[in-house]
């Protein structure tokens, strides 16, 4: 995949979801990330108003998480979370699917759970919002990764995403390839979890990812600059 520095930056969701990162750390991190050209910053829900303020006037979107990181919240709670986040300034939502229900074969329940969040985001943003569904692929077999991708796609998800970063493992090349093969061009694929350097980011993009979720976006761009884009 041929990329430039600008397209690399625009594929990154720069992420801060550490449980110990508060307002001060969040403001410093957001200020450093605001003008890097990232697709989005993905931050803890309580930092959304701060992110909306600091990113105002930039091309970078504000993203936050729903039912994170375990996915087993009530459907109504997930929809309410999404509604509140959109009201605070989020343009993108990364939600965790109900992994437990999926592993027991309750795909209809999982699809309806996702669809409720998609419908809420669509309504609240007049169709402009984006929903990414985290499958937490570390719990899934390759066949289940494909099935979960199909389920999220059927529910109207804009992206399928590999991992929370808090599960048994992060993204793998195999995960991304399976997800891309399953969804084709009908949705995006976000690789997240354990992506900390330029080589890994490139490999995920080459495998079919259209977004990279990482807390190391600035470091990845610095590595690009150091290597002269090679």
DSSP-assigned letters across all residues of 172-221: -HHHHHHHHHHHTTSSEEEEESS--SHHHHHHHHHHT-SEEEES-HHHHH
What is the DSSP code (8-state) at residue 128?
Answer: -
Q: Which one of the listed residues 94, 113, 158, 175 is annotated catalytic? A: 94
177, 182, 205 from 15: Cα distances, Å:
23, 26, 17
Find all residues with CB under 8 Å of 139, minimum gap 6, and list them. Answer: 99, 103, 167, 168
Q: Which long-range contacts (CB under 8 A, 24 or more apart) does 102-108 make?
A: 102/144, 102/148, 102/151, 103/139, 103/140, 103/144, 107/147, 107/151
Query: Is the C-alpha dihedral spanning 98, 166, 171, 226 positive or negative?
Result: positive
CA distance linking residue 59 with residue 56, whole number of Å = 8
- State yes or no: is 190 an active-site residue: yes
Place of tokens 């002269």: 228
Q: How many angstroms separate the CA atoms of 96 and 66, rounded?
A: 7
- State the catalytic residue, choosing from 13, 61, 161, 175: 161
Q: Which of 61, 78, 132, 190 is catalytic?
A: 190
Decide if 80 is catalytic.
Answer: no
Active-site residue flag, 61: no
| Contact criterion met (CB below 8 Å) for 26 and 50 | yes
**Positions marked active-site:** 94, 161, 190
């Amino acid at each position: 995949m041929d990329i430039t520095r600008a397209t690399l930056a625009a594929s990154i969701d720069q992420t801060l979801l550490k449980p110990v990162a508060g307002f001060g750390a969040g403001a410093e991190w957001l200020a450093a990330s605001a003008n890097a050209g990232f697709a989005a910053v993905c931050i803890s829900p309580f930092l959304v108003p701060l992110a909306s303020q600091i990113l105002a006037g930039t091309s970078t979107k504000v993203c936050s998480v729903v039912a994170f990181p375990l996915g087993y919240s009530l459907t109504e709670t997930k929809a309410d979370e999404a509604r509140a986040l959109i009201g605070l300034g989020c343009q993108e939502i990364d939600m965790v699917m109900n992994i437990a229900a999926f592993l027991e074969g309750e795909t209809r329940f999982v699809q309806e759970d996702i669809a409720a969040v998609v419908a809420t985001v669509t309504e609240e943003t007049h169709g402009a919002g984006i929903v990414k569904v985290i499958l937490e692929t570390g719990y899934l077999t390759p066949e289940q990764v494909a099935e979960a991708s199909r389920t999220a796609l059927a529910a109207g998800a804009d992206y399928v995403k590999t991992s929370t970063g808090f599960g048994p493992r992060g993204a793998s090349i195999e995960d991304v390839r399976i997800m891309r093969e399953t969804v084709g061009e009908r949705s995006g694929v976000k690789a997240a979890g354990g992506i900390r350097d330029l080589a890994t980011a490139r490999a995920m993009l080459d495998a079919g990812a259209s977004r990279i979720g990482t807390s190391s976006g600035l470091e990845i761009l610095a590595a690009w600059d150091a290597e002269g884009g090679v």
